[in-house]
Structure 1
């Protein structure tokens, strides 16, 4: 379910659909049709928190202390990513009821999980600082994973220019390799891995990208969410540059340039407000 982390962190509502054994979304649609996929897979999707609780409950016994601890740890690792504090508190309260444990105890674990995760994430980075894949953001990995794992996302990437979103050279090269293929079938992860057999860094990155899309049921929406994320990142970066240039123009007394920069800055703000409704 790692591919859902970015979407949850961005405040998106995430539902998870279970695929029948031996099928991915594309093979299911080809075999049974789009209408069947919609009715029997998409419409049966469960909220991510309900889906994950069911998985953990099947693995651990919720009636003994050890099982409660394992389930709560697994759930809190996802709940802590929710940006809305009211929703987060509601999810903790619901989890406390399901496990018959004090809500305050779960809140304490939630607070601990944030600080513990920071330590866990930083340790391996020190050991593997030279690996380019460490510099690839989760959003970039998700976008690459979608492009190679889902035909619709691959076609969208063919139709628009998104290479500029990848800051890392290995990620850009992997993106080029994915889109160099004439068909999505030849750009799927299993095919790409055979091409990257002697490129350890790219192979590791590809595996990480594929893991990012595990649990994604609506690849089109996830792809669009990624593009919105990157566009916002670009706008924020441009705004910062404009602010510095505006200050410098004021200092020099270059009022013609100042007026142009202020207009561009205001245009970006206007587009941003319009996009956000």
Structure 2
């Protein structure tokens, strides 16, 4: 609902500017199509799924698919044998549970609003909050949607969306910035714990990627803090060192590898396009 109108506009403009040239739509939800029904279904009346196709689709699929492939390559194992958790953390954030190389679960849902706390999105909340604030504040459905998508998340809690600003405010003693960070980390850890259990406690790796995941050692350290009992041991020196490319930031004796792998959604889209065109 949020992205499709703009995407269709891009296709229509391309058809006018480049008549006769094929257009390829690479869906950000494609990776999530590997989920089993118990993962993608909502416990709503089944006819809503049949009539309106209401289900969990998942987003950032091009990133999660790219990272799954790169994780398998980095670990030197076939992608079909990979079990991992990918944390795509940025202004928009999502996580993916990868089992046998495909998406087994994902944190975003029918729209990108579900799941983790993000820059301006609230993430998962009690759905009864929506009609409650509509009644109490007199919001229309569109206004309530704007609150959840554009005025919530880190912005709603502390007034900032960039984690560099959040960290700077924490250094100044801003308690709401500290709360925002704590809430963000908690939402990531809750999902990470769930996905580790879905993988029977034996993921090959957990992987940080995207703007925050690749560049914020404070968030990475907070996510991994106290997880030694699960087999996750962070090498704090490696975590604090900036390096290009894929790298390991866990200790040699960590049962579960902790990786940082830069994502490349544009490359994944280009390669998918070539596959569709048979080139």
TM-score by length of structure 2 reads 0.24
Q: Which has the larger radius of gyration?
A: 1
Of Structure 1 and Structure 2, which has the larger fraction of its residues in strand?
Answer: 2
Work out which structure has the larger RCO, using CA pairs closer than 8 Å and 6 or more positions apart in sequence.
1
Of Structure 1 and Structure 2, which has the larger fraction of its residues in helix?
Answer: 1
TM-score by length of structure 1 reads 0.24
